[in-house]
Structure 1
């Protein structure tokens, strides 16, 4: 059976976490590693070919150096991966225009060559111990990589010896010109374009403000002037219609203004398509496009409305826990159970665990552990779980927020 490529990325994090936790003999170290990550102890990390490195603050002001290494794939193995993707036009199109679909996390889609290393291929070392092996610092590094892979899985390609950009360049030169065109959708994407190398946005803005002719004019950009465009006639296919293009222009202008402002509220790092769609539709101007966006994403309008609500309540982590089940340390779930037990109206009723979800059906409350290490509350309404306000690092606080929401209905 031929599987259809769906562009999601959380599967990369799940596969990496599975390899990490299988490789760990001491599960207690994994739990301590998650705690370090939750506490924000991991100050810096870098991903290079074959290894990831992190600096971890130690008592007394010293820095420990944690390292996680994996085997680098050979040129022959990368050629096998290229050939397998080229043979699947649906995969090639996603990689070239949208990103690294987690279909590629399965060896069956990459010519039998696994991009995710096997558990036995992971090696750990840290200056906290004299000999190689897993410690709480390398466990924290491993979980950090999993967290980053949810939105930027290209770091896993870098670990294995090739960048995402290199893969796309290779596909552009090897994908057959006769590959079948994808079916049109209401929000069909424009073909990918190759950009010439140039300065970053920060560099370009710095040059502009340093120009004598522009001195003192920067403040005028931050006064909230409306964005203007010259769109009039409908653009040719396969471009979006004028109303959607105008929405994107307005959104880009608002985000640029925020970037230039002193109080920059735009989150750093890449954002997946689902989260960015929820963010855009959360605006008044974007609301009218909900039906078309839901069709494009393969969701029902009701599902997408829940994700928009989740974004309004808790940002990108809220969208993530609404859309995905992710592996969670059983110890974290056990601690949450103990924290909410005194608050339960039916303390003898069972609690259900499902990945990152803890459900109290008798109370019509569900808590979901997010990538922000907060518990996100949901309440049941005619069999449907809806996100509500009150996400918190303390599961008891999130549980109380869900109970308050139910009492207000």
Structure 2
């Protein structure tokens, strides 16, 4: 139920349909619907659906005074439109000026004749998709086009919305414009508002559609569904994006793959279960990143290569058999994979690239690196300044098993030597002195462990 439905004050039957008095139209008992006044809604568009926008086009393309349209939008946004009464051929509401003066505003729209309704109903039952869309509170473009082909204009055209207001204006004033903007919101939620304006309430229209369908028994044997051309035409009409989902407290748990019988040839249930668990963890990680403020301004990272993804999976602490398969598949071997996992945990693909790549620093980046090194120890004693031996993007401290590696993004990564192999010793830092301190602390911790 929409917020508008909750505000209606007309009589309805047990199925929630209008209790129309006269199925042929006219202002019979029960054909009026009243919608409660809406609260102020500043900054919100008045029409999201194509038929709601068509309604406003009929208003805005006809009104002679643009200032009155602007005033009407302002009154509608300010919540100055009272309860809206919708009945065949007329919509009515009391609209308050900014000085609280109340005016009765009416907008008239020509009702369809009985002959036009018969043509529309005969056309609609020819297409099951038209009726299905109406029941979903939608108005497919082909329904309107097919109705026009049958000589029935459902949506108002230029000049069809006739204003009446007790303020004395002869054209659309701010009060009738405000009423039309408010009705656009109602139409967005329920296109049956338009049909009521044209002379048929919801229940009367649906009953008439059933009656016409009953006179064409051959139509009932047609398969259910929506015409392909109609579905294609409606493809560009998409609803707004839903709200972002909340971040789960923990990754989902994949189902158990244990079975009574043996697995198919070539299938390792433990490896498959591990892969499903890591996929769930990665999905939660990506969602957490997407929900962070400013995520839309961050550059899109390329997908990891198969070798990089093997390291990501190994970082999930797989069973020994799975780890051995990853070590072999990645070409790193068991020890090499363990070092790569340490790098991945320090900074993902960026840290892994620093581990694997040795690249020549161009002149501009080299000048910035030297300036950063000079600044890092500018205020210390001369004896505290480390002496580096440089090769490519790697600065190794002379006489100590510690090293700084420059990443392509300008950050410094600490490394230390362990059993003859350079291994990551911490996360990246903008300051080379901070990175070197991390490497030395890691080296000290390793020696005292």
TM > 0.5 fold call: no
Taking structure 2 as the reference length, the TM-score comes to 0.39
Which of 1 and 2 has greater Rg? 2
